[in-house]
Amino acid sequence: MTTSTKPLAGLTVVELGSLIAGPFAARIMAEFGAEVIKIESPDGGDPLRKWRKLYQGTSLWWYVQSRNKQSVTINLKHPAGREIVHKLVAEADILVENFRPGVLEKLGLGWQELSAINPGLVMLRLSGFGQSGPLAQQPGFGAIGESMGGLRYVTGFPDRPPVKTGISIGDSIAALWGVIGTLMALRHKEQNGGKGQVVDVALYEAVFAMMESLLPEFDVFGFVRERTGNIMPGITPSNTHSTSDGKHVAIGANGDAIFKRLMLAIGRDDLARDPQLADNAGRDARRDELYAAIDAWVAAHRETEVLATLAAAEVPASRVYSAADIVADPQYLARQMIETATLPDGKSFRIPGIVPKLSATPGGTEWLGPTLGQHTDQTLRRLGYPADAIDALRDAGTV
């Protein structure tokens, strides 16, 4: 698969982002063929380069988050640096940024200035609270968005304080909404006269949009959804259970027919035939009884026995996967979700595959996250800067 056959081939994206939300959105575009020019500060670049586990001084996360991107170093505080950005924007289709609202405006790189340079520009702006409202100027990370968006309140067990998920889910959700919005804006541009627009994604709103029936249930019934541990509130049975060998298995048997198959599989024919349990409302009213029965059965068997029995009964179930489980799983391998790549020193390592799967024009990994400023000179040459001008920009600390 060559870059030219990917669905976003021909699009140019300028990324003015750091850490998670903005770079993740641009990563998706890069995986599907867009030319992504990531602008970084000459002084260390994106902090993600040094986040989490480092291999020979560079984050392994960086290599994945920035795959297929080009790295150009520009000091945005220098007028000559902002001039370079203007030239890049003039040729771009999309600009992705996740600065605090107002920062780019102070630098002369806001929507008014950039859209004047390129009226067809689509500008994806990701921030904690959006570009307007009383909190717009406040800093906001994923944890804040998850809290304000309602996710943290319902996550955890009822007898303990709220907890976070194991990843920066708020940033990732915002990035996905950002990509969707950007593609919508590009479609509008194609169909309605070529005008660009701003795609404004607030982290808290991105999370809030995923909160199912939380708001209407409160508005109509005054019901405040609380933490319920591993069960799916109001939908029974769906829970995580512990096996005799200390493993954990998630079982989702909330469909009427599936529930009956589960009860028969665990030897509880009486519950399978009970007319009160024929629908979800009846099952949810007796959730404690049902979970006790399932807990007892799972606790008496090893993980492999539990999974084999439930697979034979066509009951949705899964071990709770660790990274070690993932890399050895036949389903992951069959769908190319585990790729092999090579670090700069030649060491082979595994990285996540590409999502989603497109049958005719799939995405792919062309190269890993670049070194800081790896593409600066070639980009400046393309913009018409001669070698002596590039040297002068570097001497001045502009690039």
What CA–CA distance (Å, rounded) separates 147 from 66?
A: 27
What CA–CA distance (Å, rounded) separates 145 from 207?
A: 7
Q: Which two tokens stand for residue 246?
A: 């200390």
Helix axes 256-265, 303-312, angle to 10 degrees: 130
| 171 in active site | yes
- Taking the alpha carbons of 190, 196, 197, 198 in that order, is the dihedral positive or negative? positive
Assign 240 to helix, strand or coil: strand
Cβ contacts of 15 within 8 Å, gap of 6 or more: 22, 23, 26, 36, 37, 38, 39, 69, 95, 96, 97
In the DSSP assignment, the letter for residue 360 is: S
Other Cβ atoms less than 10 A from the Cβ of 66: the count is 27
Which of 46, 93, 171, 284 is the catalytic position?
A: 171
130 touches 205 (CB < 8 A): yes
Strand arrangement of the beta sheet that strand 317-319 belongs to:
238-242, 248-252, 317-319
In terms of DSSP bridges, do strands 198-202 and 122-127 run parallel, antiparallel, or are they unpaired? parallel
280: nearest Cα among 262, 259, 295 = 259
Is residue 95 within a helix (H) or strand (E), and if so which, with residue range?
strand 94-97
What CA–CA distance (Å, rounded) separates 48 from 29?
A: 19
Q: Which segments of the chain does DSSP mark as H helices, in order?
A: 21-31, 60-65, 79-90, 103-106, 111-117, 142-148, 169-191, 203-208, 214-221, 256-265, 269-273, 280-285, 287-299, 303-312, 323-327, 330-334, 376-382, 387-395
264 touches 270 (CB < 8 A): no
165 touches 155 (CB < 8 A): yes
Other Cβ atoms less than 10 A from the Cβ of 149: the count is 24
In terms of DSSP bridges, do strands 198-202 and 69-73 run parallel, antiparallel, or are they unpaired? unpaired
252: nearest Cα among 312, 308, 197, 294 = 294
Active site residues: 171
